[in-house]
Amino acid sequence: MNYQSILNSIEQEINIHDFEGKVANYIPELAKVDRNKFGMHLHCINNGHYAFGDSNERFSIQSISKVLALIMAFELERDAIWKRVDVEPSGDPFNSLVQLEYENGIPRNPLINAGALVICDILVSHLKNPKADFLNFIRKISNNPTINYDEKVAKSEKEWGFRNSALLHLMKSFGNIKNDIETILDFYVYQCSLTMTCKELSETFMLFANKGRILGTNEQIIPWNRIKRINAIMMTCGFYDEAGEFSFRVGLPGKSGVGGGIVAIHPNYYSVAAWSPKLNPKGNSAIGMAALELLTTKTELSIF
Ligand code: GLN
């Protein structure tokens, strides 16, 4: 299959000016990003790389990082984590508080903010230096020592993190948060501030397409059984109240972030990342979704 020519046709077919979309501005630092950026990178399991547009520019991966924190917490606590966070789609916006009240402080899944904050609490309990240890883990699975946090984005989110703070307080009242709220919030905003290019993101998520092994060294970092479960959670919960729509249109497990990035994987075939900061009303990249829909349609490669 000529992947590069398929990617070129996607770039040509998508006119970014046809899409409305708003750049996230509740984190002031993110509002500064050029809304017309658009790039895509496809990384195949045979180590092929195909790309177009702004695929080599770093952006804030935001909620995409929740999958990486989850896999680390899953390694540390194994199935005990499912006592504190469920695995059901929420059907609610990513930062919603409503379900928590009547579900006794147990978040629906680890990819909404409430669930991701519980995962951060677990990591803070286990790691000596949460920020440094998490970063080292990401550098290892991405095989890239240059990956880093963006302090400006982290600080900007922390100043405006009232909803996340509310989620933490509510869950603490139910006994589902063990550590100090400030410490968890600080770790969470750093985790979300990781910056990567589409290429780096697709390389990092190759782990999920390659049964938990690092492509190249073949080192088994995560057992396949745990990768299988995380992929299932990405499929059912990766796009909040638009998870059904993403599954319907694209047909791959994936995760979005309010920085405009989307990563998706096709187990045993490829990992792909798209970036465009224009978000639809559900907080997912409108153009990223359209690009991925075209990719699975044109390649006839979706898990369905
Ligand atoms: N850091 C962001 C927040 O908590 C992440 C949200 C997202 O990417 N959907 O609001």
- Is the distance from the beta carbon of residue 67 to the nearest atom of ligand 1 less than 6 Å? no
Distance 170 CA to ligand 1 centre (A): 18
pLDDT, tens digit, for every residue of 67-113? 999 999 999 999 999 999 999 999 999 999 999 999 999 999 999 99
Last residue of a domain, one of 159, 192, 225: 192
Q: Which of 63, 66, 194, 196 to mutate to test the pocket of ligand 1 (most atoms within 8 A of CB)?
A: 63
- pTM strictly above 0.85: yes
Distance 188 CA to ligand 1 centre (A): 10
Q: Domain range for residue 149? A: 63-192
Write the single-letter amino acid at 127.
L
262 in Cβ contact with 284 (< 8 Å): yes
| pLDDT value of residue 110 | 98
Residues 149 and 217 in one domain: no
Residues 74 and 219 in one domain: no
Region 130-150 average pLDDT: 97
190 in Cβ contact with 131 (< 8 Å): yes
- Is the distance from the beta carbon of residue 241 to the nearest atom of ligand 1 less than 6 Å? no
Q: What is the CB-side half-sphere exposure of residue 162 using CA atoms within 13 A? A: 2
Interatomic CA distance for residues 222 and 220, integer angstroms: 6
Total Cβ atoms within 10 A of residue 74? 23
219 in Cβ contact with 213 (< 8 Å): yes
Mean pLDDT of the chain: 97
| pLDDT value of residue 247 | 98
Residues 188 and 203 in one domain: no
pLDDT, tens digit, for every residue of 205-253? 999 999 999 998 899 999 999 999 999 999 999 999 999 999 999 999 9
Read off the CATH number of the domain in which 149 is found: 3.40.710.10
Q: Give, using CA atoms, the residue closest to atom 6 of ligand 1.
A: 63
Nearby residues of 83 by Cβ (< 8 Å), 6 or more positions away? none
Give the count of domains, the chain: 2
- Is the distance from the beta carbon of residue 267 to the nearest atom of ligand 1 less than 6 Å? no
| pLDDT value of residue 241 | 94
- Is the distance from the beta carbon of residue 59 to the nearest atom of ligand 1 less than 6 Å? no
Strands 270-275 and 49-53: unpaired
| pLDDT value of residue 216 | 84
151 in Cβ contact with 192 (< 8 Å): no
Packing angle of the helix pair 162-173, 113-126 (nearest 10 deg): 70
